[in-house]
Structure 1
Amino acid sequence: MNPLLCGLAANPALPPELVHRLLAFALEEAATEPEPGPAEELLHNLADRADLRHDQVLALAAHAENTAVYLARTGTLTTADVDPGSSPYAAVALLDEGRGHPEWARLLAAHPDSGIRWKLASCPGLPADVVDLLAADPEGEVVEELALWTASPVTARLALHPDPQVRFAAASNPATPLEAVVVLAEDPELTLHWALSERTDLPQPLYARLAADPLPGVRAAYARNPGIGQELIRVLAADPEDQVRRALAAHPRVPLDLLAELVVGDRAGWDLLPRIAAATPAELTELAASPHAAVRMLVAQRRDLPAELRDALAVDPDAAVVRAVAPHPGLSEELLGAMVARHGVQVLTRVAANPDASGALLELVTRHRPGVRKALKEVAKHPRATGPALLACLADRTARPLAAAHPALPPEAVVDLLSDEDRWVTEAAAGNPALPPAVMERLIP
C-alpha cells in the first residue's frame, strides 16, 4: 500500500470527509485482495483514529475478525456492537478487557472451536460455573491456560491434575494456594526452575533450594524476587555470574551497602533501581556523597530529587553522573548548557532528552561538532524543537523520519518530504498535522 496513504490514515488533522473517502477506498481495495495484503495496513492505521464515526467503526469491524478484536481491545467497539455468535473472538476480547457480558462466557465455554475456549481461559473474572467448565475441558491446552491465568480457587484442584503440564501451569500461577505449591515443588515429574520465581510467599528453605539452580538465568530470577530474605540476598551477592548479581541489585530490599558493592566496578548501564526509588531523602543525600561515581549515578537516575541535590549532581565531575541526571526536569538552561560545554558528546543525547530543554538549546545541540546521531533523534521528537532544529535533523538518516513527523517542521518542508526516497520518511510526512489540507486531498484516490 502507498506509504503516503498509510501516513494520511494516521494523520490527526485529516478532515472528516477525507477520513470517510480514505476508509471507503481501503475497504474496496481490501475486498479485492485474495488474502490479507497491503490494504490491511491502511485499515489498521484507520482503526487507530479517535475521530471515527460509529458507522465507520462498524464497517471496520465487519471487514475482518482481527480488526474487530483490535477495536474491541482499544474500547472503540462496545458490547452493544458485538454478537458473540458471529464475532466470538471480539466477544472474548471484550471479556478479557472486563467489558463483556457474563452470559457470553457461558456461551463461549461450550464453543466447538477449542481456540475460542483457549482464549477464554485466560480472561479474568470469569463466572465460577464457566471456570468449572473450562477446568473439565477435553483439550489439555485449554485447561493448562486456565491453570496459568485464573485467580479462582480451582487452582488447588488443578495442582493435582493428572497432566504434568497443567500442574506446572498451576505452579506458575500466583493464585495457587501455598500448600499446593509446596507439594508441587516436590513433584518428581516437574522441573520447576523459574516457575515459582514470582511467588513472594514461599518458605525461605524452598527459595534457597530454587535459587541454587545450576542455570544462571534461574538464579537471577530468584535474586530479584522480593520474597527472598536477607540471608539468601547475601549468598546471591557472591554469585560468580554477572547477571545474577545485577538481578540482585534490582531487589527492592537489598541493603544499600551491599547495593554499592554490587554496582561499583560493574560497567552495566543501570536504570532506576527499586531500592533507590524507595530511598529516603537522607539516604539519597548520603549516597550522593559517595566517593564512587557509580553510586552517585544511581541517585542521579531519580526524577524527583530535591532541587539542591539535583543541581549538585548536575555539576558532578564525572560525566556518567551528569549524563544520568541530565534528563531531570527542572534543570535550568544555564546548567544544561554548562553540561554540554564541559562534557560535550558524552552528555549531548541526554541533555536533548530533557523535557525543559528550550528550542534555542536544542538548536545548539544540532550545531554541536562533533555531532551525535542519537542526540539528533532526541531533538527530532522533542515537543519544543524549533523549525531550524528540525531542518538540521533532516540531514541525519535516523532522525529524518522523526523530524518529518514533527508538527513544528515548516509545511513547505513537509510537502517536499512526500517525495523522499525513504518510505518511512514519506509516511511520516503524510501523517504530519502540518501538511496542508489541500495536499492531503490530492493524495487520496
Structure 2
Amino acid sequence: MPTPEQIWDEADLPTRRLAGLALNPSTPEDVLLRLLADAPLAARMVLCRDRDLPEAVVDAVIGHPDAYTRSFLARNPHVDPAQRARLVDDKDWFVRAHLSGGPRTTGLIRPRPLPDETVVRILTTYSDEELGNSVYMQFSDELRRALPTHPEPKVRAWGGPLDEKYEDPVWVENNLPDHPCHARTFTLVNLPLTRTVVDGVLTPPARPQERRMIAGNPSLPADVVALLSADPDPEVRERIAHREDLGPDERRALAVDPEPKVRLAVSVHPAWSEEERAGIDYEVPLDRDFGFYPEALWPRDPEAVRQDALSGHPMLRRRAAKEHGLPPDLLARLAEDDDLGVRVLLAQNHPDAPAELLLRSFLEYTGPEREHLLTRPAFPTDGLAGYADHADPAVRALAARDPGTAPEVVERLTRDPDAGVRAVFARHPRLPAARLAELLDDEELVQHAAANPALGVDAIRELVAALPVR
C-alpha cells in the first residue's frame, strides 16, 4: 500500500487543485460530497484527513467503499473524536489500526482523546497487529487515572505493573536480564533493587552507563547515593544532583562541582534556601527547547508551584511556567519575566497567555515548536502586516494572518524567496483575482490557491465540473 507521502508525490496538478478545493472554507457541502465520491485518492486523502467536516460528509466517509479513504478519517485531528470513534468496528484491519494509531501530532502535543468507551473497546477487541502503544496518547485523563482499578483486566494492564512481584527486590534480581536490553534498562531505572544488583552495577567490568541508570532509582541506599555523588562520570553526578534524598555534604560538594551542568542540577534542589541557591555559580542555558508540555495527570501542590514562580532561580520559574493552571497573578508576573525560557514556556503552555506575550515569544524564540505558538487562541492578527518585510521568513509569514494586509503586498509575497511564505500568501483572501487565477495553474502553489476563500462558489463549481464520475 502506498504511503500518504507517495500518494501526494504522484498527484498531478489537477488533482492537487481538487485537494485545495477540498480544504477551501467556501466549498459547499454538496461539492465536498462530489469530491469524496469522484476525486482521485490524493484529493480524498486531503479532504478526509486535513480539515473538519460537516456531518453529512462524515457519514459519507464512514460508508465509503475504499478502506484507504476511511483510514484518512481515522487519522484526522480536526474532526470531533466521537466522529473518528464511529470507525472502531470498521470491517478492515487497516482502518482499525489507523484509528488506534491516532492523528499525527508534533512534539508532545496529544490528540484530543477518544471517548472512553471507544478506547476500552479498542483495548479489549483489537489484535496486536491493530493495537500500538500510541493508542495511549488518545486516553482521556479520567481514564488514565482510572487505569489501576479499572474492572477490565486488559485495560488495567495499561496502568503499569500492578503485580506485587514488581515490588519485590528479590524477584526483580532473579528476573533481571543479564544482557543490555530495554527490560534491563527499565528495571535499573525504576524497580526496587537488591544490594547485590546495585553492587554488580558498581563493580568492574560492569557497563559504565548503568551507573547513570541507577542514579535516579528511588531504592538506591544512602551510602550509594553518597558514593555516586563523587563518581568520575559527570552524567552520573548530574543525575544524582536531582535526588531529593541527597545529603547536605553531597549537596555542598556538588554545588562547587567543576562541571557547570552538575552545579545547575543541584542548584534547583528543594533543600536550599533562596539565599543558598543564589550563592551557587550556575549557568542558565538558553539553548533548551521551550515547547509545549502536556498538562500533568496529577496536579502539583499549588503552594510549591507558587514558590517556584517566585524564586530567583530561572530554572524553577521555568518549571512553574509549564503549569497550565497557573493563577492570574503568577501568569501576569511571569509574562514579564526577564528570562526568555520563562516567557516562552508560559506562552506555549498557559491557556490564557496574552496576545502580547504570544507575539513577543514568536519574535524572540526560534527553537523547536516555535510554530505551536501560532495555534494559541489569543495569538494576534491585527497589525501583523507590519512584518511583511521582516528578514525572518517565519515572521514575514505572520502578515498573512492579518486580514488587513494590502493586496499589493499579498501579491508580492506570493513571489517571496521562501516557499513557506509563498504558500501562506497564496491562501490570503485579499490576493488579487488575476494572480489567484494564475496560481491555479502553478505547479507549486496550486493547492494553496485552490484553498483560498476568495474563490467564489461559482468558480469552485466550475473547477469541479470537469471531474469524471466514477
Matched, 1:4 2:17: yes
Partner of residue 136, structure 1: none
The equivalent position to 1:429 in structure 2, one of 449, 458, 463, is 449
**C-alpha distance after superposition, 1:282-318 (max 9, x if no partner):** 946xx5xx9xxx99x979x89966799689x69x9x9
Give the TM-score normalised by structure 1: 0.57
The equivalent position to 1:171 in structure 2, one of 163, 187, 208, is 187
Between 432-441 and 231-240, report the one with greater CA deviation. 231-240
The equivalent position to 1:153 in structure 2, one of 157, 163, 168, is 163
Return the alpha-carbon distance in structure 2 between the equivalents of residues 104 and 201 of structure 1. Answer: 36
Equivalent residue of 1:59, what SS?
coil
1:348–1:372 CA contact under 8 A, matched in 2:
no
Return the alpha-carbon distance in structure 1 between the equivalents of residues 237 and 115 of structure 2. Answer: 34
Give the direction of change, closer, same or farther, for the CA distance of 1:402–1:49 in structure 2 (3 Å limit): closer
The equivalent position to 1:329 in structure 2, one of 339, 342, 354, is 354
Per the TM alignment, residue 267 of structure 1 is displaced from its structure 2 partner at its CA by 5.8
Return the alpha-carbon distance in structure 2 between the equivalents of residues 130 and 98 of structure 1. Answer: 14
Matched, 1:46 2:48: yes
Partner of residue 403, structure 1: 425
Return the alpha-carbon distance in structure 2 between the equivalents of residues 119 and 330 of structure 1. Answer: 36
Unaligned segments of structure 2, at least 5 residues: 1-10, 103-112, 294-299, 348-352
Partner of residue 68, structure 2: 63
1:11–1:433 CA contact under 8 A, matched in 2:
yes
Give the direction of change, closer, same or farther, for the CA distance of 1:115–1:402 in structure 2 (3 Å limit): same
Per the TM alignment, residue 403 of structure 1 is displaced from its structure 2 partner at its CA by 3.3
Partner of residue 342, structure 1: none
Give the direction of change, closer, same or farther, for the CA distance of 1:280–1:150 in structure 2 (3 Å limit): closer
**C-alpha distance after superposition, 1:71-104 (max 9, x if no partner):** 6995433267515885663675599974347576
Equivalent residue of 2:117, what SS?
coil
Partner of residue 6, structure 2: none
**C-alpha distance after superposition, 1:171-193 (max 9, x if no partner):** 2786x5xx358876556688645
Any residues of structure 2 matched to 1:112-191 within 5 Å, and which? Answer: 115-116=129-130, 125=147, 129-130=153-154, 150-153=160-163, 156=166, 159=172, 160-161=174-175, 163=177, 165=181, 167-168=183-184, 170-171=186-187, 179=192, 185=198
Return the alpha-carbon distance in structure 2 between the equivalents of residues 120 and 183 of structure 1. Answer: 36
**C-alpha distance after superposition, 1:163-217 (max 9, x if no partner):** 554742652786x5xx358876556688645556776676655556667676656
Return the alpha-carbon distance in structure 2 between the equivalents of residues 387 and 325 of structure 1. Answer: 30
Return the alpha-carbon distance in structure 2 between the equivalents of residues 346 and 85 of structure 1. Answer: 48
Matched, 1:376 2:386: no
Per the TM alignment, residue 21 of structure 1 is displaced from its structure 2 partner at its CA by 1.9
Per the TM alignment, residue 19 of structure 1 is displaced from its structure 2 partner at its CA by 1.5
Partner of residue 33, structure 1: none
Partner of residue 5, structure 2: none
Return the alpha-carbon distance in structure 1 between the equivalents of residues 261 and 431 of structure 2. Answer: 48
Query: Structure 2 counterpart of 1:440, which letter?
Result: I
Give the direction of change, closer, same or farther, for the CA distance of 1:117–1:267 in structure 2 (3 Å limit): closer
1:9–1:431 CA contact under 8 A, matched in 2:
yes
Give the direction of change, closer, same or farther, for the CA distance of 1:253–1:281 in structure 2 (3 Å limit): closer
Return the alpha-carbon distance in structure 1 between the equivalents of residues 114 and 345 of structure 2. Answer: 40
Matched, 1:76 2:101: no
Partner of residue 142, structure 1: none
Return the alpha-carbon distance in structure 2 between the equivalents of residues 363 and 212 of structure 1. Answer: 56
Matched, 1:89 2:97: yes
Any residues of structure 2 matched to 1:199-278 within 5 Å, and which? Answer: 225=242, 227=244, 229=246, 231=248, 235-241=253-259, 256=274, 258=277, 268=287, 271=290, 278=305
Give the direction of change, closer, same or farther, for the CA distance of 1:50–1:121 in structure 2 (3 Å limit): closer
Per the TM alignment, residue 260 of structure 1 is displaced from its structure 2 partner at its CA by 8.2
Query: Structure 2 counterpart of 1:359, which letter?
Result: D
Return the alpha-carbon distance in structure 1 between the equivalents of residues 456 and 243 of structure 2. Answer: 54
The equivalent position to 1:366 in structure 2, one of 388, 394, 401, is 388
Partner of residue 386, structure 1: 404
Give the direction of change, closer, same or farther, for the CA distance of 1:106–1:358 in structure 2 (3 Å limit): closer
Any residues of structure 2 matched to 1:94-105 within 5 Å, and which? Answer: 98-100=116-118, 105=123
Return the alpha-carbon distance in structure 2 between the equivalents of residues 441 and 215 of structure 1. Answer: 68
1:185–1:192 CA contact under 8 A, matched in 2:
no
2:93–2:130 CA contact under 8 A, matched in 1:
no
Partner of residue 458, structure 2: 438
Per the TM alignment, residue 280 of structure 1 is displaced from its structure 2 partner at its CA by 5.2
Partner of residue 8, structure 2: none
1:171–1:181 CA contact under 8 A, matched in 2:
no
Unaligned segments of structure 1, at least 5 residues: 31-38, 133-145, 340-344
2:25–2:451 CA contact under 8 A, matched in 1:
yes
1:168–1:192 CA contact under 8 A, matched in 2:
no
Return the alpha-carbon distance in structure 1 between the equivalents of residues 290 and 87 of structure 2. Answer: 44
Equivalent residue of 2:75, what SS?
helix
Per the TM alignment, residue 53 of structure 1 is displaced from its structure 2 partner at its CA by 2.4
Equivalent residue of 1:53, what SS?
helix
Give the direction of change, closer, same or farther, for the CA distance of 1:121–1:68 in structure 2 (3 Å limit): closer
Partner of residue 3, structure 2: none
Per the TM alignment, residue 20 of structure 1 is displaced from its structure 2 partner at its CA by 1.5
Per the TM alignment, residue 365 of structure 1 is displaced from its structure 2 partner at its CA by 3.6
Return the alpha-carbon distance in structure 2 between the equivalents of residues 69 and 348 of structure 1. Answer: 33
Per the TM alignment, residue 387 of structure 1 is displaced from its structure 2 partner at its CA by 2.0
Matched, 1:412 2:443: no
Return the alpha-carbon distance in structure 1 between the equivalents of residues 284 and 133 of structure 2. Answer: 47
Give the direction of change, closer, same or farther, for the CA distance of 1:400–1:104 in structure 2 (3 Å limit): closer
Matched, 1:19 2:5: no
Query: Structure 2 counterpart of 1:388, which letter?
Result: A
Per the TM alignment, residue 46 of structure 1 is displaced from its structure 2 partner at its CA by 1.8
The percent of aligned pairs where both chains have the same amino acid is 17
